Amino acid sequence: MNATPDLTAYDSCTLCPRRCKAKRTEGHRGICGCTAQPHVARAALHFWEEPPISGERGSGTIFFSGCPLRCVYCQNHRISHEGFGVEVSTERLATMMLELQEQQALNINLVTALHFAPHVITAVKSARAQGLHIPIVCNTSGYETSELVDALDGIVDVWLTDFKYYSPTLAQSLSAARDYPHVATQALQHMVASLARHGGRQINDDEAMQRGIIVRHLVLPGHVDDSLAVVDHLWNTVGNAVDLSVMNQYTPNERCRSMGGSLSRGITDEEYDLVVLHADEVGFDHLWWQEGGTVSESFVPEFDATGVQ
């Protein structure tokens, strides 16, 4: 199946909440840093996601270039800010998915992909027509429009989504997105509605997630109060409709080290434990946490176009 994506969405782009209206089909770059031509930095098995996503066989992860957010602490700076990646066609995207399935991947994990949503939707449909049968995971910052989440109903099986901030002020300071808490809440509510329409959370006999939502929250040093507010907000908004993953892997990049302040260090055990214990106390049935020692740049994959060409 060779299918052509509808490129009109890129003509005056409003795919992300920035709604920058860049003429990406004419070669102009949006706030995401990209034109209408998808670029991919890596396509390979990945073993460092939550257990229901990576399992023992690994998640078939495809890292896309560019990002609508501009987080100062981004660990994937080379692809999100600098735009490293190789241009790929829709057909090649579909083939990469099938190749990862042949490598026994538990799923296809699309990382920061939705500023290329027309290509992604077309590629998934094409791959499924050619025999793709493992779940599609959408690995996102959570900064997505509700309209786009709805458009992915039936395409995405598992949402692996961030919820970064409760405070609009903190969101503006660290990601230049004051509206992040509002936008991410609406997007998450639409993800939950979509999941309910398809029968809710499903885990197979191997404990691999077939359908579901995992909300990730990265605890930032010096901002435990905001993390606790995020946990309360998630519980009050979606409760046990989602899994919650509390992450301790914040690693200060060069920019953060030069800024000084709390972001120039890793989080302490005390900071992390406060958030995990609070998440457990409020009642999350499916709660994931990380062991100590995950603060390391070794957890950032090598972006070298592995598996792309």
Residues 6+ apart with CB under 8 A from 157: 107, 135, 136, 137, 210, 211
Residue 299, pLDDT score: 61
This prediction's pTM: 0.96
Rounded Cα distance between 195 and 201, Å, is: 7
More confident of the two residues 304 and 188: 188
User: With 80 as the cut, is the pLDDT of residue 244 above it?
Assistant: yes
Residues 6+ apart with CB under 8 A from 159: 137, 138, 140, 191, 195, 212, 213, 214
Residue 77: inside a domain: yes
Residue 240, pLDDT score: 98
Both tokens of residue 266? 């890793």
Number of domains in the chain: 1
Stretch 137-159: mean pLDDT: 98
Residue 23: inside a domain: no
- CATH classification at residue 118: 3.20.20.70
pLDDT category at 2 given cuts 50, 70, 90 is low
Residue 309: inside a domain: no
Asked whether 107 and 136 are in contact (CB, 8 A), the reply is yes
Residue 272: inside a domain: yes
Residue 237: inside a domain: yes
| Residues spanned by the domain of 261 | 33-299
Task: Single out the residue of 100, 108, 71, 70 nearest to residue 210, CA to CA.
Answer: 108
Residues 6+ apart with CB under 8 A from 221: 250, 262, 263, 265, 266, 267, 268, 271
Residue 19: inside a domain: no
User: With 70 as the cut, is the pLDDT of residue 1 above it?
Assistant: no
pLDDT category at 297 given cuts 50, 70, 90 is very low
Q: Give 8-61 pLDDT, tens digit per residue.
A: 999 999 999 999 999 999 999 999 999 999 999 999 999 999 999 999 999 999
Q: Give 248-284 pLDDT, tens digit per residue.
A: 999 999 999 998 899 999 999 999 999 999 999 999 9
What sign for the dihedral angle of Cα 261, 263, 267, 270?
A: positive
Residue 15: inside a domain: no
The DSSP output letter for 45 is E
The DSSP output letter for 13 is T
Residues 6+ apart with CB under 8 A from 173: none
Asked whether 213 and 241 are in contact (CB, 8 A), the reply is yes
Mean pLDDT of the chain: 95
Residue 306: inside a domain: no
Stretch 132-137: mean pLDDT: 98
